[in-house]
Amino acid sequence: MEPEKTALIDTVKIEKILLAKKVGQFLVQEQIDEERVEVEKVARRLASDVSVKVRRVLAFELRRCTYLVPDIAEKIAGDVEAVAGPFLAVTQAITDKAFLRLLPQLEDYAIAVLARRSDLSEFVVHALSQMGNEGSVRALVRNDHLRLGEPTCNIVVNRFGGNIHMMDQFSARSDLPVAVVERIVDKVSDHCRDMLVEQYAVSDEHAGQLMDSCKLEFLYEQLTGADAEQVHACVTELRSVRRLSHWMVVELAGRGCLTFMESALALEAGLPRGSVKKTLGLGDPSAFVKLMQMANVSKTMAPRFLKIAKEFYGSNELAA
């Protein structure tokens, strides 16, 4: 008796699956309104069926509909992943307005599916950046088929700027606004920073400026009152983690932190600090030029070092 009951249940399920397929195929076509309304009633019942298989077949067929009454489309969109995933990946039956209304109710997997699409509007993309979790936003920033506007990019940086892995993937995009590049250049790994500098034609000095400007005030406060050995230790640490830039050096030297510049040039050039200090006295101009070369100071930054040398060391009083 029990096997017969099981067979009966399976038969009913198979019949529903076949019906779901036929209903889906029917609604994809253009029909007379009266006929469509009747079939949509059947589709509503199937969309709420207890069987995932039935709902999955219906959703798979309806994914090709260019028009679908909102309640059916939204019912499918909110279903389990096996049902909603293939539908959300391609459906054209949900308007931007409907998507914006639906997003807060969708599961994370559904938002991630949308983030991988190539045809979303700017409004939906922006909403995804606001509401998606880390996985969804990661899929969004890796989607080269979508254009991310500056407001959307800023949302991503605001939410995930402290996640270096996310920022590295974000930096690999080729369409980032310059203002956004400036925001993330200090939030990515050294390798990705180099790629940003090359791809977006950001000069090394400017990249250093962008990276260090937000930290300069804090660093200046830390150095105030420090002795030469403490300053040298600070410079050594910054250099070891590749956070020492020539822009930072001249900015701090211009504020009076001359020992910072002496230590930085000494480390870069491989010379004693006393020798660097003497050269900055400009008693031998050729020695100054050689110092700049040994310290890998660019031609655009060298004049700034020279200006500081003339202002603070030129009298040779400090070089004595």
Cα gap 232→255, rounded to integer Å: 17
Using alpha carbons only, give the angle 275, 238, 173 rounded to the nearest 5 degrees. 130
CB atoms within 10 A of CB 243: 16
pLDDT at 320: 35
Structure tokens at 216: 């300069």
Structure tokens at 296: 């890998």
Listed as ranges, residues in the chain with pLDDT below 50 are 1-2, 4, 6-7, 316-320
Cα gap 93→120, rounded to integer Å: 13
Cβ-proximal residues to 167 (8 Å cutoff; 6+ apart), any chain: 157, 160, 161, 184, 187, 188, 192
- Average confidence score pLDDT of the chain: 87
Cα gap 313→25, rounded to integer Å: 85
Structure tokens at 286: 């050729």
Cα gap 146→163, rounded to integer Å: 22
Q: What is the CA radius of gyration of the chain?
A: 32
Tell me the one-letter amino acid at 203: S
Q: What is the pLDDT of residues 25-48, one digit of tens each?
A: 999 887 778 889 999 999 999 999
Buried b (16+ CB within 10 A) or exposed e, 104-134: eebeeebbbbbbbbeebeeebbbbbbeebee
Domains of the chain, residue spans: 1-94, 96-202, 211-313
pLDDT at 251: 86
